[in-house]
């Protein structure tokens, strides 16, 4: 074994090369705004901590499923089957657009109500919505496998273990970040509870962002 090979082995942990670079990259990626994080923030603001964590649980489960699918090779299936990729892509884009339109309609309805009226309740399940948002995103599967594969040694005998560790690190940061968003949303709700016009305006902006996420997903390619 050469000196360079022996040195690389010493810097490897469970088949993961340069785990600290991966940890930093995963942390920065989690901070990037997206439909999942925006949905959790909006649920926390509109429905409180408990509902916010139900949405976060949906995101957590959805991302876990996507990571498992990536490790199982579903990313290769999506790349080799453009029709399947297109079907899932447009389904995800339509769902994001539907959520965005629903938020805008709710904001318009809230703006028309008098300040004395009790806020409109939302009976939908935030867990199911968040899970659907996560799963209907084929680009996320392709991203996970393209990101993970850079840090997994192909010669390691148990690559599944490497993927588990990488996924656990990513989910750890996700839990911390989503928790911060939930309590930020609750704080904003308290601040804007008496400013219904401002609250409706922010909800409209969030709905417009969901429409933008949907449009971005609809125009995404396999690259």
pLDDT digits 0-9 by tens, 178-199? 999 999 888 877 766 555 665 6
Confidence at residue 177, expressed as pLDDT on a 0 to 100 scale? 93
Is residue 5 situated within a structural domain?
no
Confidence at residue 178, expressed as pLDDT on a 0 to 100 scale? 93
Cα atoms in the 13 Å half-sphere on the side-chain side of 50: 1
Domain extent at residue 188: 16-218
Is residue 2 situated within a structural domain?
no
| Average pLDDT across the chain, whole number | 76
Is residue 98 situated within a structural domain?
yes
> Which tens digit of pLDDT belongs to each residue from 12-26?
667 788 888 888 888
Residue with tokens 């709905």: 207
Domain count, the chain: 1
Is residue 119 situated within a structural domain?
yes
Is residue 96 situated within a structural domain?
yes
**pLDDT exceeds cutoff 80 at 64:** yes
Is residue 85 situated within a structural domain?
yes
Is residue 41 situated within a structural domain?
yes
Is residue 3 situated within a structural domain?
no
Out of 47-51, 160-164, 201-205, pick the least confident: 201-205
């Amino acid at each position: 074994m050469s000196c360079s090979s022996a040195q690389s082995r010493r810097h490897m942990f469970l088949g993961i090369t340069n785990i600290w670079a991966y940890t930093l990259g995963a942390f920065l990626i989690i901070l990037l705004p997206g439909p999942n994080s925006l949905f959790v923030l909006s649920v926390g603001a509109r429905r409180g901590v408990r509902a916010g964590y139900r949405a976060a649980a949906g995101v957590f489960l959805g991302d876990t499923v996507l990571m498992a699918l990536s490790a199982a090779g579903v990313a290769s299936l999506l790349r080799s089957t453009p029709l399947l990729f297109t079907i899932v892509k447009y389904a995800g884009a339509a769902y994001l657009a539907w959520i965005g339109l629903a938020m805008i309609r709710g904001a318009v309805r809230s703006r028309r109500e008098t300040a004395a009226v009790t806020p409109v309740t939302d009976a939908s399940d935030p867990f199911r919505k968040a899970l659907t948002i996560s799963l209907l995103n084929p680009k996320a599967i392709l991203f996970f496998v393209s990101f993970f594969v850079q840090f997994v040694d192909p010669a390691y005998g148990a690559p599944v273990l490497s993927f588990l560790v990488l996924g656990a690190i990513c989910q750890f940061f996700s839990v911390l970040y989503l928790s911060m968003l939930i309590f930020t949303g609750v704080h904003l709700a308290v601040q804007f509870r008496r400013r219904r016009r401002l609250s409706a305006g922010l909800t409209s902006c969030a709905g417009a962002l969901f429409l933008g996420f949907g449009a971005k997903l609809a125009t995404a390619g396999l690259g």
